[in-house]
Amino acid sequence: MRCLVWILGSLAVLVSLPSTAWAYEDQATLGLEVGYAGIPGSDTLPRNGIDVGLSAGGGIGDAWSIQGLLSYNIFPNERPLHLGMAGIETVYALDIVRFVPLIGFGVDGLLTVRDRGTRGDFALHILLGVDYLISQRWLIGADVRGYWVATNAHSPLDPFIVTAAARVGVRFDLR
């Protein structure tokens, strides 16, 4: 009986102590990504391209964060297509110590340049990704984003765009 009282008392003391874990609301992240961009259903546009992006964000809860994205995609061929994207997304991180699966969604503004013609569009996207925390400060990751171009009826873009990228990031504590 004495052992049971000691175990329960120890657990009560441990539960009452403040946690030393820092959640996402106490962190900001900067990231750089490079990868693949694709327009899979295109018959008139180049299908395969290169994606380069920059992200910056911060936590808004213990598992939620919000981040801004800037990316540039080039689809090379004899008439190259240049695609710039600026967006904002909310991300849920399932933090499993060093391995962190991500899921999110966002809204984007797109600027298409081809043959000296420019066009602005609006898109929605979903995110599936994973981060691996190398240290408290550095991370590497990979993500896939699927974009639905909401204004594709009057746009040269097809309704779906996909990016898949590898990412390196740095985290900053805000407290």
Residue 1 tokens read as 């009986």
Which of the four pLDDT bands, split at 50, 70 and 90, describes residue 14?
Answer: very low
What are the tens digits of pLDDT across the range 19-68? 444 456 678 999 999 999 999 887 778 889 999 999 999 988 888 999 99
**Distance between CA atoms of 158 and 95, rounded to whole angstroms?**
35
**15 falls within a domain:** no
Spatial separation of the C-alpha atoms in residues 159 and 153, rounded to whole Å: 8
Closest CA to 57 of 14, 102, 6, 17: 102
Domain count, the chain: 1
10 in any annotated domain: no
Short-list 109, 111, 123, CA closest to 152: 123
Give domain status of residue 7, yes or no: no
Owning domain of residue 149 = 25-173
Give the rounded percent of residues in the chain with a pLDDT score beyond 90. 59
- What's the CATH number where 157 sits? 2.40.160.20
Asked if residue 1 belongs to a domain, the reply is: no
pTM for this entry: 0.82
Q: Is residue 69 included in any domain, yes or no? A: yes
Residue 14 lies in a domain: no
Mean pLDDT score, 128-139: 92
Q: Which residue has the tokens 């990751």?
A: 141
Does residue 19 lie in a domain region?
no
